[in-house]
């Protein structure tokens, strides 16, 4: 079984950043309407049909998910296993709409490590919450609102405009704690620093490589994969604690939230800057790998994660765009 990094299209790894949302958004709007009329069960049925359509229609997604499961589970899945993976994502996207409307009573939300967030809140201390496109941030956002934790989501959202517009329609306050990054925009970094000084939390993902991002290649699921260094450089500049957070979905209506300390302060000595960055990325990738092996169908990076680092990007199919860069 050949699991070496593929010498495929070098643009593919950055497709999430520039991909266009397709007609699936019409389907999700329809599912939302059905959910309001008849309930979540019927809407999940429509979301399952959307997932089937997308799995049948995207040979690229089938290929990259086969490779992913071969790495994560040691076996190449058949079509229906691939469909179940895409269906999991479709159900999580649908749940985002409910969670955005603050309909948390329809879900069972468990919390592991919540005392870390409570301690930060009581101390009025800010921190970075590093996650990944594995599971969903929306349950964490709702939980934070209920407990009055001030969590802001930082990331690139240009590839998910339709979804974010719909989320804004459902809850006009949705964008209040979303910090949208744009290349070369230093103002947002100033805002992030100010929020941390005010004792607020900044959540972001550290798994996807964007355009012009500097990267470090480390082992992930048995093969070299590129991870961005930007999140860790940002953490070193902000000089705040870093925690790892995940929101893992379990059918039909359970979200398992977790928070664990990662590093009290990121330090990048000038003499060994690259070495220190590599150590951080390796630790992050190792912990992410453990989470991914525990719940592989929560992996929502639907592109070749092990492809060579991209030099440019082009429009490409993107069911995954509904997850956004960090909201997810």
- 94-138: pLDDT as tens digits: 888 778 776 667 889 999 999 999 999 999 999 999 999 999 988
Collapsing DSSP to helix, strand or coil, 306 comes out as coil
pLDDT tens-digit series, residues 9-56: 434 444 433 444 454 567 667 777 787 787 788 888 888 998 999 899
Average pLDDT in the chain = 81
What are the DSSP calls for 201-251, one per residue?
EEEEE-S---TT--EEEEEETTEEEEEESHHHHHHHHHT--EEEEEEEEET
Higher pLDDT, 161 or 191: 191
pLDDT, position 74: 92
Asked whether residue 321 carries a pLDDT value surpassing 50, the answer given is no
pLDDT, position 307: 79
Would you state the structure tokens that stand for residue 37, as one six-digit string?
């009329």
pLDDT, position 227: 96
Range with the poorest average pLDDT among 67-81, 95-109, 208-222? 95-109
Say what percent of the chain tops pLDDT 70.
77
Higher pLDDT, 166 or 112: 112
Asked whether residue 237 carries a pLDDT value surpassing 70, the answer given is yes
How many angstroms separate the CA atoms of 64 and 146, rounded?
37
pLDDT tens-digit series, residues 299-313: 999 999 997 754 444
Higher pLDDT, 141 or 130: 130
How many angstroms separate the CA atoms of 162 and 62, rounded?
24
Residue with tokens 């590129």: 226
Asked whether residue 3 carries a pLDDT value surpassing 50, the answer given is no
Task: Report the predicted TM-score, pTM, of the whole model to 2 decimal places.
Answer: 0.84
Asked whether residue 295 carries a pLDDT value surpassing 90, the answer given is yes
Asked whether residue 61 carries a pLDDT value surpassing 50, the answer given is yes
Please state the separation of Cα 144 from the chain's center in Å. Answer: 17
């Amino acid at each position: 079984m050949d699991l070496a990094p593929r010498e495929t299209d070098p643009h593919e790894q950055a497709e999430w950043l520039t991909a266009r949302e397709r007609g699936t958004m019409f389907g999700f709007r329809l599912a939302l309407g059905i959910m309001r009329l008849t309930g979540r069960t019927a809407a999940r049925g429509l979301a399952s049909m959307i997932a089937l359509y997308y799995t049948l229609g995207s040979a690229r997604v089938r290929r990259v998910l086969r490779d992913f499961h071969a790495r994560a589970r040691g076996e190449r899945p058949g079509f229906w296993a691939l469909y179940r993976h895409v269906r999991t994502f479709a159900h999580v996207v649908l749940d985002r709409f409910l969670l955005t409307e603050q309909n948390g009573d329809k879900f069972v939300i468990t919390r592991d490590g919540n005392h870390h967030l409570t301690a930060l809140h009581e101390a009025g201390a800010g921190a970075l919450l590093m996650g990944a496109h594995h599971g969903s941030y929306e349950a964490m956002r709702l939980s934070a609102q209920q407990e009055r934790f001030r969590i802001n989501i930082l990331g690139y959202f240009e590839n998910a405009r339709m979804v974010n517009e719909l989320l804004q329609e459902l809850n006009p306050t949705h964008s209040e704690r979303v910090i949208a990054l744009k290349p070369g925009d230093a103002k947002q970094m100033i805002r992030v620093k100010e929020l941390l000084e005010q004792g607020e939390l900044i959540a972001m993902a550290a798994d996807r490589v964007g355009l012009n991002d500097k990267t470090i290649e480390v082992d992930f699921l048995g093969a070299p994969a590129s991870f961005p260094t930007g999140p860790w450089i940002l953490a070193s500049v902000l000089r705040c604690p870093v925690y790892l957070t995940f929101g893992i979905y379990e059918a039909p209506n359970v979200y398992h939230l977790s928070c664990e300390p990662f590093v009290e302060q990121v330090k990048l000595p000038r003499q060994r800057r690259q070495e220190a960055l590599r150590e951080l990325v390796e630790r992050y990738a190792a912990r992410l790998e453990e989470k991914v092996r525990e719940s592989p169908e929560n992996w929502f990076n639907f592109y070749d994660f092990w492809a060579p680092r991209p030099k440019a990007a082009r429009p490409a199919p993107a069911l995954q765009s509904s997850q956004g860069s960090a909201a997810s």
